[in-house]
Structure 1
Amino acid sequence: MQNIDVLDRQILEVLSSDVKKSYAEMAKMFNVSTGTIHIRIEKLRQAGVIQEMTIKLDERKLGFDVCSFIGITLKRAKDYGGVIKQLESIDEVIEAYYTTGTYGIFIKVMTHSMEELHQVLTRKIQAIDEIQSTETLVSMQNPIRRNIKI
């Protein structure tokens, strides 16, 4: 979608920081009608710019104290689709990327403890036959966490 104007950008910026902001509040902020906000958001949804309206959770407050990134080397490039399907069934895998370079797949995993990470890695991820090897990086903290600047 190439014709995103100033109002669209303002709406996206507000929703990126506060998904609960009402249409009426945004209309007042931008000096337009509530109907205009509704139409613009619907247009952005239909264009695929807005894919879903979600909330951000603080994983640590929910007991998920270990964030790790795991680089996966596949046995064969053609195994990608099957491995992704199997990774989708592992609840602790919260993101996956198809990458260039050393790894074919790079995933983000959240667990409650290092012991749980070890179990997920050895019993679930490394148990996938099409995976040749993995490398795990544990995140110490997440000092920058934001949506893209629109």
Structure 2
Amino acid sequence: MTEKSDAHYRIDNLDKSILMALMENARTPYAELAKRFAVSPGTIHVRVEKMKQAGIIEGTHVQVNAKKLGYDVCCFIGIILKSARDYPVALAKLEQLTEVVEAYYTTGHYNVFIKIMTRSIDELQQVLVNKIQVIDEIQSTETLISLQQPINKDVTP
């Protein structure tokens, strides 16, 4: 498959079914998926490989429970940069912080929106004061503490 055709790969109902099954349990054997969808294991393998080549499937990962690992505080921080040109440098500095688990370049009031996980409010304060607010490219921040995460799901293929 050429790179151009990979970019235009369109998934069908079988691909959607495969994706949904793998999103539920990425360790499901291809043979089991083949039986479930009445196709050969080779068909499953080919479809998965095509979706990987097209960038639809980017990989698999282990999902960990942050609270069970002691990370009790989840918060979101809206960041206003001093200048739009500061974005690459600020992002590189934020990426170095282990507490930053997600970052988004956004429109609206904030230039960057990040998600951080800490073990306590005290640790959150230390991260804010000693790691984030000392980044020269950052003009100001606003912190929103998450009380719970009632919805957590992937997109439906």
| Inter-partner Cα distance in structure 2 for 1:121 and 1:27 | 50
**1:11-26 paired onto structure 2 within 5 Å:** 11-26=18-33
Q: How far 1:41 moved relative to its partner? A: 0.7
- Percent identity, please: 54
Q: 1:112 aligns to what? A: 119
| Inter-partner Cα distance in structure 1 for 2:62 and 2:23 | 9
Q: 1:80 aligns to what? A: 87
**1:33-52 paired onto structure 2 within 5 Å:** 33-52=40-59
1:37 aligns to what SS in structure 2?
helix
More deviation, 87-96/48-57:
48-57
State the one-letter code of the partner of 2:154.
Answer: N
RMSD (Å) for aligned C-alpha atoms: 0.9
Q: 2:146 aligns to what? A: 139
Structure 1 consecutive aligned stretches of length 4 or more whose deviation exceeds 6 Å: none
| Inter-partner Cα distance in structure 2 for 1:64 and 1:84 | 23
| Inter-partner Cα distance in structure 1 for 2:42 and 2:125 | 51
2:128 aligns to what SS in structure 1?
helix
| Inter-partner Cα distance in structure 2 for 1:24 and 1:54 | 21
1:67 aligns to what SS in structure 2?
strand
| Inter-partner Cα distance in structure 2 for 1:128 and 1:18 | 40
2:152 aligns to what SS in structure 1?
coil
Aligned length: 150
Q: How far 1:55 moved relative to its partner? A: 2.3
State the one-letter code of the partner of 1:61.
Answer: K
Uncovered stretches (5+) of structure 1, i.e. residues with no partner: none
| Inter-partner Cα distance in structure 2 for 1:28 and 1:88 | 43
Q: 2:70 aligns to what? A: 63
State the one-letter code of the partner of 1:131.
Answer: I
On the 8 A contact 1:19/1:55 being kept in 2, the answer is: no
